[in-house]
Amino acid sequence: MNDSPLQVLTLPTSPYPDQRPGTNGLKKKTHVFQSIKNFLHNFIQCIFSSIDLRDRQGSTMVVGGDGRYFNSTAIQVIVQMAAANGVGRVVIGQKGIMSTPAVSCVIRKIKAIGGIILTASHNPGGPDGDFGIKFNTANGGPAPEAVTNQIFQLSRTIEEFAICPELRVDLGTIGKQSFDLENKFKPFTVEIVDPVESYANSLRNIFDFAVLKELLSADNHIQIRLDAMHGVTGPYVKKILCEELGSPANSAINCVPLENFGGRHPDPNLIYASELVETMKSGQYDFGAVFDGDGDRNMILGKHGFFVNPSDSVAVLAANIFCIPYFQHTGVRGFARSMPTSAALDMVARATKIQLYETPTGWRFFGSLMDAGRLSLCGEESFGTGSDYIREKDGLWAVLAWLSILAVRRQSIDGIFLRHRFDYEEVDLDAAVEMMLDLELMISDRAFIGQVFTVGEKKYQVEAADNFEYGDPVDGTISRNQGLRIIFKGGSRIIFRLSGTDSFRATVGLYFDSYEKDINKLFQDPQVNYDLFLMDTSKIVCFIRSAG
């Protein structure tokens, strides 16, 4: 306890026009947060101001980050501002570390009012990299659109922020710290917690750890290789997979969180996770997985580097859902995928007669369905998989879910959805918006429906085309303009979507998916063997790039 009460100040500031939170949080170049005067303070104040004062007074908030450069500095500021804004208690992962799924888990467990996660997810970190701030609400999930819109509106008119500038937290020592603030009756408290423990407890109740331990450490065990890419997942992998489930030490690599992720993109895909892909090709390991910076994304690889497409991953989990004890207890309430995610999951939903929801991109839409008890398992094409035990996607959960299935049986998939996403990054925003408008005009022409495009021997006939719109079945909120869809007979699709998570300019995402019945193609390199649809804005030109 400090001797004299800490000062609470209200300081003047002026607004910035570019603080609109994206699909999941605000991402910018690190120097923007670090060097532009009050850029961080403004955004944090708007987060606090978006919470009704009556709810905020004396409340508990969770704070964690993926350990990237500027993590601890930002946390000190957030705590100083939380105290000045009436928050009563802040729970923080030791050294400022806590994965996105773990923050979601802790918010729910301790009934916090919300949480702030310092991360730019899978973007590189460091002084020249990216930094970001995610805000999750009391359900543990990313703030819904109504809240992020409010934060954005506040950010355009902000005039002052509140702060206790002298408050300093010791992030290294587990335990309680309390601070007397001037004009406040109750001390403000900070609790530094083990970032893994509470989350690990949840997983112990979801999976059968004895069965997993047998799979990983018994004589006939399978060999796994997990790559944490120097992101936040390292300590979780070490503690849960190695220490507790007995996987040997060489099964986990890059497990020390680094401020710049070792200079790499902590992005779990075939390109940035090439180290794991190469190792898996040797055939020494049966199962491989890699995570993103903040631990919510995962990529799964099989023996010899067999790539499990994320859209297929969620479908396989759905088809085998009762291999996971949690679902034996809760039953299965529904499945969901984001619109650009290919329709493998739809087939499982049809076969099992379980309700399927198609939502816009971003986990917050799943959260609403989960809160209403309508959704158990969901996924996104962008390497996200998760369930309703929390309100975030969860890389480590996905690994334990897959291992639970492997422990019970080996599943073969009787078809594969070929899916590809091409991102055109850092394009001019106005030009991108104009391109989308032109394209929308073209595909909404009635003459467009029914047109046939020939690609080698294959024919693709346009069945439907629209700008995807989603009406939340729980609260009726309509989300418009979620991406342009061109759907062909037989289910192949081309989707155009503007990314909502850019740190800089715009990204146009092009998504292609089509169902492939030929089982032989399952084992071909999915990045090489595909029909490539090329499109210009006046005419759709499709041509095939045949198997290499």
| Residue 394 binds to Co ion (criterion: CB under 5 A) | no
Query: Least distance (Å) from ligand VG1 to the CB of residue 282?
Result: 29
One residue of 130, 208, 227, 294 binding Co ion per CB under 5 A: 294
Do 252 and 223 contact (CB within 8 A), yes or no?
Answer: no
Query: Least distance (Å) from ligand VG1 to the CB of residue 104?
Result: 11
Which residue carries 């773990």 as its tokens? 102
Rounded to whole angstroms, how far apart are CA atoms 237 and 68? Answer: 18
| Residue 292 binds to Co ion (criterion: CB under 5 A) | yes
Say which residues have a Cβ less than 8 Å from residue 476's Cβ, sequence separation at least 6. none
Q: Report the chain's C-alpha Rg in angstroms.
A: 24
One residue of 71, 99, 121, 514 binding Co ion per CB under 5 A: 121
Query: Least distance (Å) from ligand VG1 to the CB of residue 37?
Result: 26
Rounded to whole angstroms, how far apart are CA atoms 379 and 365? Answer: 11
One residue of 380, 394, 472, 516 binding ligand VG1 per CB under 6 A: 380
Site string for Co ion, 239-278 (x = CB under 5 A): ----------------------------------------
| Residue 385 binds to Co ion (criterion: CB under 5 A) | no
One residue of 292, 394, 472, 513 binding ligand VG1 per CB under 6 A: 292
| Residue 384 binds to ligand VG1 (criterion: CB under 6 A) | yes
The interface region with ligand VG1, picked from 72-80, 379-387, 412-420, 527-535 by CB under 6 A, is: 379-387
SS3 189: strand
Rounded to whole angstroms, how far apart are CA atoms 248 and 235? Answer: 15
The entry of ligand VG1, Co ion, none near residue 24 (CB within 5 to 8 angstroms by kind) is ligand VG1
- Helix and strand numbers (H, E) in the chain are 16, 28
One residue of 227, 267, 296, 531 binding Co ion per CB under 5 A: 296
Binding-site size, Co ion (CB under 5 A): 5
The H-or-E segment that residue 212 falls in is: helix 209-217
| Residue 382 binds to ligand VG1 (criterion: CB under 6 A) | yes
| Residue 500 binds to ligand VG1 (criterion: CB under 6 A) | yes
Do 486 and 465 contact (CB within 8 A), yes or no?
Answer: yes
Rounded to whole angstroms, how far apart are CA atoms 76 and 166? Answer: 10
First to last CA, the chain: 68
Write the CA distances from 452 to 165, 293, 342, 418, 540, integer angstroms. 65, 43, 22, 21, 10
Rounded to whole angstroms, how far apart are CA atoms 230 and 67? Answer: 9
The H-or-E segment that residue 330 falls in is: helix 325-330
Residue 65: which of 197, 188, 231 has the closest Cα? 231
Tell me whether residue 121 is one of the annotated catalytic residues: yes
Query: Least distance (Å) from ligand VG1 to the CB of residue 125?
Result: 13
| Residue 513 binds to ligand VG1 (criterion: CB under 6 A) | no
CB nearer to Co ion: pick between 7 and 499? 499
Binding-site size, ligand VG1 (CB under 6 A): 18
109: number of Cβ within 10 Å: 16
Query: Least distance (Å) from ligand VG1 to the CB of residue 142?
Result: 7
Selected catalytic residue, list 121, 313, 404, 479: 121
CB nearer to ligand VG1: pick between 384 and 526? 384
Residues 336-365 that bind ligand VG1 (CB under 6 A): 338, 361-363
Rounded to whole angstroms, how far apart are CA atoms 379 and 313? Answer: 8
Residue 151: which of 261, 284, 51 has the closest Cα? 51
Residue 105: which of 336, 391, 482 has the closest Cα? 391
Q: Which residue is nearest to ligand VG1 (CB)?
A: 121
Query: Least distance (Å) from ligand VG1 to the CB of residue 204?
Result: 25
Rounded to whole angstroms, how far apart are CA atoms 79 and 164? Answer: 9
Residues 111-150 that bind ligand VG1 (CB under 6 A): 121-122
| Residue 23 binds to Co ion (criterion: CB under 5 A) | no
Active-site amino acid positions: 121
Q: Which residues bind Co ion (CB under 5 A)?
A: 121, 292, 294, 296-297
Q: Which residues bind ligand VG1 (CB under 6 A)?
A: 23-24, 121-122, 292, 296-297, 338, 361-363, 380, 382, 384, 499-501, 509
